[in-house]
């Protein structure tokens, strides 16, 4: 990739990471972080998979520093990559949201399992043990993100914002 890093994209990435951190800190769901996935959907649409993954990594790192487990990082970084890849191929925001839900809810859970066993001594029967905990959060957050995308798209604000960021 020979593209220069866009300062606008870096600023928006940092702002979305901060938004995800604040929302996940202020609005607490027991054992869930749906606002990470909400922001992942927005970031993936506006910025693409790599910037979105970076925002998720920044937010997850901040959450780990606040006392969360490594799942704050591993659970949030796969979804933006999968949803970004799907969106680049299809340009379908419904599939973008589905990609985030499956990427974080299933693949993020599978990625988290070995880290939880190695670093936190988790004793679980199989690799799929975390999926029932990750999938509802990822699905809820993805649906919220999709709903906001649809509302903003209808008002034409979303396309203007995306154009402004990618200028």
Q: pLDDT tens digits, residue range 57-90?
A: 999 899 888 887 788 888 889 999 999 999 999 9
Number of domains in the chain: 1
Q: Give the tens place of pLDDT for each residue, 89-122.
A: 999 999 999 999 999 999 998 888 888 887 777 7
Residue 27 lies in a domain: yes
Residue 90 lies in a domain: yes
Pick from 91, 99, 81: nearest CA to 139:
99
Does position 29 have pLDDT exceeding 90, yes or no? no
Phi, psi of 126 (to 5 degrees): -155, 175
Give Cα separations from 50 to 29, 31, 44, 75, 133 (angstroms).
Answer: 27, 26, 8, 16, 25
Contact yes or no for 33/69 (Cβ under 8 A)? no
Residue 39 lies in a domain: yes
Q: What is the mean pLDDT of the chain?
A: 88
Q: Give mean pLDDT, residues 11-38.
A: 87
The tokens for 113 are: 């399992």
Residue 1 lies in a domain: no
Residue 153 lies in a domain: yes
Identify the pLDDT of residue 30.
67
Pick from 115, 110, 104: nearest CA to 39:
104
Residue 54 lies in a domain: yes
Here the CATH number for the domain that contains residue 120 is: 1.10.1760.20
Residue 154 lies in a domain: yes
Residue 2 lies in a domain: no
Q: Which domain holds residue 142?
A: 7-165
């Amino acid at each position: 990739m020979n593209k220069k890093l866009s300062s606008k994209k870096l600023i928006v990435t940092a702002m979305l990471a901060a938004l995800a951190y604040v929302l996940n800190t202020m609005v607490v769901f027991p054992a869930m972080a749906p606002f990470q996935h909400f922001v992942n959907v927005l970031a993936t649409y506006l910025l693409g998979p790599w910037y979105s993954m970076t925002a998720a990594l920044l937010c997850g790192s901040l959450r780990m520093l606040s006392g969360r487990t490594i799942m704050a990082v591993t659970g949030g970084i796969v979804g933006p990559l999968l949803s970004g890849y799907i969106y680049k191929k299809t340009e379908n925001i419904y599939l973008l949201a589905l990609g985030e839900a499956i990427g974080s809810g299933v693949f993020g859970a599978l990625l988290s399992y070995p880290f939880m066993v190695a670093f936190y001594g988790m004793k679980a029967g199989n690799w799929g043990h975390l999926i029932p905990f990750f999938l509802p959060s990822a699905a809820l957050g993805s649906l919220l993100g999709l709903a906001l995308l649809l509302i903003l798209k209808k008002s034409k604000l979303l396309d203007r914002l995306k154009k402004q960021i990618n200028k």
